[in-house]
Chain A
Amino acid sequence: MSLELHDGPLEVEEISNRWFNEMKDKNYGAYIPFIGIVRDEDGISGLSFDIYEPILNSWFEEWQKKAKEEGAYLLMAHSRGDVPNHTSSYISAVVSPQRKVALKFINDFVEDFKASAPIWKYDLIDGKRVYAKTRSTALKGAGLLK
């Protein structure tokens, strides 16, 4: 398990350096990080996030199992609450013995993260949280109670 949640923007340098130092002597040949940065667009001052941790944890554990089967290992950090423009709300990384596995894995992992991780995003507009409904993806089985 290497999933960490932080209140507010991520301290990218601290997290990146710590992860790299933890991984560098484990004999992985490839370390592929992805760092998401909040963009200034559509008049927002930043983003804000709610997270449902029990399902996020089990979702991440499933991915960690898949990574292990490939000899890889996953790391992920995400923000809770408000994250201003031009700071980071999301970092993930994959390490593996070879580059190709890690490159494929980071892509598949981040794609599924977007579609399945129980995290809700809000735009910060004039100090208010506005749910980013049109950019969100319904989870498996949505509409069951309609």
Chain B
Amino acid sequence: MAKVEFLGPLNRESIDVEIKSLNDLKNIFKDDKELAEWLEICAVAVNDTLVCSLDTKIEENDKISLLPPVCGG
């Protein structure tokens, strides 16, 4: 199982998912209306590296993080 964590203002409990790629995760989220607005603006990291492709392969025990827009300082 891979773990999905929702960072900062997303403020949701982490979930475990059985997926092979980020495309599968997109499908899991497609009916989540509350999350839809956030997905438009969230970046995605796999094992703490930002990724830009839905084809990114997901292995057992990978950590996927959703990162909303940032503003430090």
Q: When the two chains form their complex, are residues B50 and A141 in contact, meaning their CB atoms are under 8 A apart?
A: yes
**For residues 94 through 138 of chain A, which have their beta carbon under 8 Å from a beta carbon of chain B?**
110, 113-122, 131-133, 135-138
A120 to B40, CA, bound (A): 17
Interface size on A, as a range, is 35 or more
Is A36's CB within 8 Å of the partner chain B? yes
Query: With contacts A120-B8, A144-B43, A145-B39 known, is A139 near B70, CB below 8 A?
Result: yes
Q: When the two chains form their complex, are residues B71 and A114 in contact, meaning their CB atoms are under 8 A apart?
A: yes
A141 to B51, CA, bound (A): 7
**For residues 46 through 95 of chain A, which have their beta carbon under 8 Å from a beta carbon of chain B?**
49-50, 52, 54-55, 58, 78, 89-90
Q: When the two chains form their complex, are residues A120 and B9 in contact, meaning their CB atoms are under 8 A apart?
A: yes
Query: With contacts A139-B43, A145-B42 known, is A121 near B72, CB below 8 A?
Result: yes
Q: When the two chains form their complex, are residues A120 and B70 in contact, meaning their CB atoms are under 8 A apart?
A: yes
Q: When the two chains form the complex, which single residue of B40, B48, B51, B67 contacts A58, counting CB atoms closer than 8 Å?
A: B48
B interface residues, tally (CB under 8 Å): 31
- Give the shortest distance, in Å, between B23 (CB) and chain A (any CB): 9
Is A18's CB within 8 Å of the partner chain B? no
Interface of B is mostly: mixed
Contacts of A143 in B (CB 8 A): 39-42
Query: With contacts A89-B73, A113-B72, A121-B71 known, is A54 near B48, CB below 8 A?
Result: yes
Q: When the two chains form their complex, are residues B73 and A90 in contact, meaning their CB atoms are under 8 A apart?
A: yes
Q: When the two chains form their complex, are residues B9 and A140 in contact, meaning their CB atoms are under 8 A apart?
A: no
> B52, B68, B73: which has the most chain A beta carbons within 10 Å?
B73
Q: When the two chains form their complex, are residues A52 and B52 in contact, meaning their CB atoms are under 8 A apart?
A: no
A35 to B72, CA, bound (A): 13
- Give the shortest distance, in Å, between B50 (CB) and chain A (any CB): 6
Instruction: Give B residues with C-beta under 8 Å from A.
Output: 7-9, 22, 25-26, 29, 36, 39-45, 48-54, 65-73
